[in-house]
Amino acid sequence: MEVLTITSKNFEQEVLKSDLPVLLDFWASWCGPCKMMSPIVDEVAKELNGKAKVGKINVDEEPNLASSFNIMSIPTLVVIENGKLKTQSVGVKSKEEVIKMI
C-alpha cells in the first residue's frame, strides 16, 4: 500500500474512519531525523499492505493536526486504531520497532 499524505481534509476519512490501524508519521522537510525515518516508514507501508494504513503528516503544512496530537518533537509516530490513539513514539525507530507499535 502506498503511503498516504494525510491532511485536515482527509484525516477523518483516512484515519478516524479506517477499518485498519493507521500509522501516522509527523515530519518536516527540514528535519534530519525525519529524513532518516522516511524510508523506514515507506518499508513498513509495503510490508503491512492490507494489515494497516500508513500516512505522513507534514507539521509545517498541517499545524492544527500536529497540535491536536500535542506534537512537540519530530519525527513522531502515532498509531490510531478504531479512531482512538493507541500509541505514540518520538524519535527514530527501527523497522521492527515501528511494526511492533502497530
- Active centre residues (catalytic): 31, 34
Largest CA distance in the chain: 33
Closest CA to 78 of 32, 29, 18, 9: 18
Degrees (nearest 5) of the Cα angle 101, 19, 91?
A: 25
Tell me, what DSSP letter sits at residue 64?
Answer: H
Nearest alpha-carbon partner for 14 in 83, 98, 97, 86: 83
DSSP 94: -
